[in-house]
Amino acid sequence: MMERTVALGEGDTLLLYTDGLTEAFSPNGELFGDMRLMDSLKSIQASTADEVLVGVEEHLNEFIETTPLGDDLTMLALRRV
């Protein structure tokens, strides 16, 4: 087991998530993936951890449209203000 310490500066956000997020599929079979997640996080104007979660979920729902998730999805966001 590896242990690390991460220092969060003012305004930093830490997002923890299960692979159900990045392995979600669009209707044409594309993966949401790491790059879309990073682009999503960069585009979200959030001042709270809840706004980060809502923003990521909105981007994911736009991407998958009506395609059901193939795996469970759990997200936890921490934001230092």
25-70 pLDDT, tens digit each: 999 999 999 999 999 999 998 889 999 999 999 999 999 999 999 8
The pLDDT, as a whole number, for residue 6 is 87
Sign for the pseudo-dihedral over CA of 62, 63, 68, 72: negative
Question: pTM score, two decimals?
Answer: 0.89
Number of residues that make up the chain: 81
Q: Where are the domains of the chain?
A: 34-81
How far apart CA 1 and CA 57 sit, in angstroms, is 30
The pLDDT, as a whole number, for residue 52 is 95
Q: For residues 75-79, give the mean pLDDT.
A: 95
The pLDDT, as a whole number, for residue 81 is 83
Cα distances (Å, whole numbers) of residue 65 to 23, 24, 29, 30, 69: 14, 11, 12, 12, 10
How far apart CA 23 and CA 15 sit, in angstroms, is 16
